[in-house]
Amino acid sequence: MFVGLIDLSATSADFGCKIKYPEDDTPSSEGHLKDYEQIEVPEVKKGTRSYELVMASKMATEKLNKELNTPFVGFHEGPLLTLTQLMGADRVLMDMKTHPEVVLEAVQKCTDYICQVSELFFEENACNALCIDNLWSNNVIMSEEDYWKFDGKFIYDQHLPLFKKYDQPYTIHSCADAVHYDTQIKKFGTKLFSYAYYPNLRAKGSQNYADLIPKYGDICCMMGEVNPVQFMDNSPAGVQKIKDDTRNLLEGVLPVLKENGMQSKYIMASGCEIPPGGPLTTVRAMVDTVKELGPGLQKQIFG
């Protein structure tokens, strides 16, 4: 399975935000809008960045489905993440406290827009599933109550019904360190959750497979959690590190699945996107390790 995990500036670009495209890094918002009043809901049409994202995803889906018999998962940002890319995260998070009504109005506009993007994905059959980045669901940044007010409720009331209309599973990616998992999985009815794990941030709420599978594995397939930064090191030691981490994850996940009455419902993956220019040798090392060890470990553990 391939996830079209692009940078986080695709939707903000169509609102008029200036985007920089460095050769050695992901594109990002460079010139934020000055006033919330400047925000107007754009039409998703030919020439917009989101339209091109959908069309590129459609090409990838057709090619991967046909040539590799492999699914492709589309990707774009959620409402509040789109707004912070537009206006700047520091400003929006401050304005949530001082001018909440202005922020809520802006989030509504961003919600209207991302619903257009999702609908175009579905209408064009541009992916086998669609993944949304709800990055700000993070207890280190804001409470679960604030998250619900400024993002979650918009998703629940307006975005989720669109997935139901097209009979599509709602899937999420978030590399946040302290996700509001009850909202993101239970409240939203999420079927697949791609997550990152930060061992040094467990005290702040970062959770791994051993935490997540018992809590949510019966309703949601978890996907993670190898450190994406490690994929940049394709030295012999770096490749071996990826192999070792992949093996350790396999040997850890499978018993937890068994203990909770499952045989699958977990996807081996990196915790977030591999940085631009990353070597494919480390990616292949992970894939080959899963292919080599996975079947034997499953037989050994499940019998």
Exposed / middle / buried, residue 202 (Cβ in 10 Å: 0-12, 13-18, 19+)? middle
User: What was the pLDDT predicted at 30?
Assistant: 76
Report in angstroms the alpha-carbon separations of 209 from 90, 110, 177.
Answer: 31, 32, 14
For 76-127, write each residue's pLDDT tens digit.
999 999 999 999 999 999 999 999 999 999 999 999 999 999 999 999 999 9
Degrees (nearest 5) of the Cα angle 258, 263, 265? 110
pLDDT digits (tens, 9 = 90+) for 29-75: 777 788 998 899 999 999 999 999 999 999 999 999 999 999 999 99
What confidence tier does 276 reach under pLDDT thresholds 50, 70, 90?
confident
**Would you say how long the chain is, in residues?**
303
pTM of the complete model: 0.93
Q: Rounded to an integer, what distance in angstroms lies between the CA atom of residue 206 and that of residue 130? A: 25
pLDDT for res 27: 78
Query: What are the residues whose beta carbons fall under 8 Å from the beta carbon of 97, sequence distance 6 or more?
Result: none
SS3 state of residue 180: coil
Average pLDDT over residues 126-130: 97
Set out the domains of the chain in order of their start, with CATH numbers. Answer: 2-207 (3.20.20.210), 230-303 (no CATH)
pLDDT at 273: 86
